[in-house]
Amino acid sequence: KMNFKLAVLAGDGIGPEIMAQALKVVQAVCTRFGHEFSCEEALVGACAIDAVGDPYPKETHHTCLNADAVLFGALGSPKYDNNPNAKVRPEQGLLKMRKSLGLYANLRPVSVFEGMEHHSPLKEERVRGADFMCVRELTSGLYFGKPQGRSEDGNTAYDTCIYTREEIERILKLAFELAQSRRKKLTVVDKANVLATSRLWRQVAQEMEPRYADVETEYMFVDNAAMKLIQNPTHFDVLVTENLFGDILTDEASVVSGSLGLLPSASIGVHTSLFEPIHGSYPQAAGKNIANPLAMILSTAMLFEYALDAPEEGRCIREAVQASLEAKVVTEDLAEGTPAYSTSDVGDWVARWIAKKEER
């Protein structure tokens, strides 16, 4: 019996709508398994800029640190995307949040739900059975390296890619351990034929390999990995890489599953951990009750598994999602020839399935 506290950061766009469904599901699981939980809401992104002028305010940081884990919806608003003069942007809040919470490992599982294979633009026989975990380093590399900026005349710009041995070791340790808990295969993705940081990554990984003798480790250049991910997605089990490569490869990998609306993520940190869908704030759908809440709901499954050490609860949520897909209780992005359900209808259905599971 657990009693846990969640920091709830709904964010912008469809964030609040999908978060409401996720919380219904967390409530249903807690009722079913006899846990209790409480929530503290906080602002992040455009809504935080509008309210207090800061995309990641101090109060939000404290709320996150005071909780057992963070649930995060999405952030971003066209208001800022289309304004090159904006001094503060919602995305800065995300980077600040990752850095200050020490969220160094971003786990993005990619798999194809049974019966969903045809949603992928790739051939069904290629994606069937694909099931891999992308581990993206999240608090270093090009995103955070200093110096970053422009020359005085404005005509030269620079970013810096820096990785320390410690940063590389801690993400690789997590990736090796994940591989041990799965199919024992690790692909280290880099550009060691060109980049010094990549050569350090490869060296450190090779030094660590003997400690994980049960894991089959391979090294792959990022350009080759980009090709292989869609050519032969079933090749991969755990894939680990640096921040920018991981950003790009995980968007690409999402194509395998066929729907961005089904992909959750977990960000594991030194101070806490955070769970969010990989899709964005989808402003065109905000307030319309049409967005797919399943990625957010699946993120709560990862919350139970990774933050609360409760794998059975996580499995229960995943089963409920699979059941909703089979029953075609889905939003318009997945409805084909069947009526589309609303965001809240899908949330209600999944929560009810969990509550009534034993009657089945």
What is the C-alpha end-to-end distance of the chain, expressed in Å? 24
Q: Is 159 annotated among the ligand-binding residues?
A: no
Does 159 bind ligand IPM (CB under 6 A)? Our answer is no
CA distance 329 to 346: 6
**Residue that is written with structure tokens 């790739």 in the block:** 122
Q: Is 251 annotated among the ligand-binding residues?
A: yes
Q: Is 143 a catalytic residue?
A: yes
CA distance 93 to 53: 11
Of 219-248, binders to ligand IPM (CB under 6 A) are: 247
Q: Is 173 a catalytic residue?
A: no
Identified catalytic residue from 56, 80, 104, 143:
143
Does 135 bind ligand IPM (CB under 6 A)? Our answer is no
241 has which bridge partners? 136
Q: How far is the CB of 94 from ligand IPM (least distance, A)?
A: 5
Does 252 bind ligand IPM (CB under 6 A)? Our answer is no
Does 91 bind ligand IPM (CB under 6 A)? Our answer is yes
Does 81 bind ligand IPM (CB under 6 A)? Our answer is no
For the chain, give percent helix, strand, coil, nearest 5: 50, 20, 35
329 binding partner (options ligand IPM, Mn ion, none; Cβ < 5 to 8 Å by kind): none
Q: Is 56 a catalytic residue?
A: no
CA distance 332 to 40: 31
Of 65-94, binders to Mn ion (CB under 5 A) are: none
CA distance 269 to 305: 15
CA distance 246 to 253: 10
Q: Is 128 annotated among the ligand-binding residues?
A: no
Identified catalytic residue from 58, 123, 251, 309:
251
Binding site for substrate: which residues? 98, 108, 136, 223
Q: What residues are annotated to the active site?
A: 143, 191, 223, 247, 251
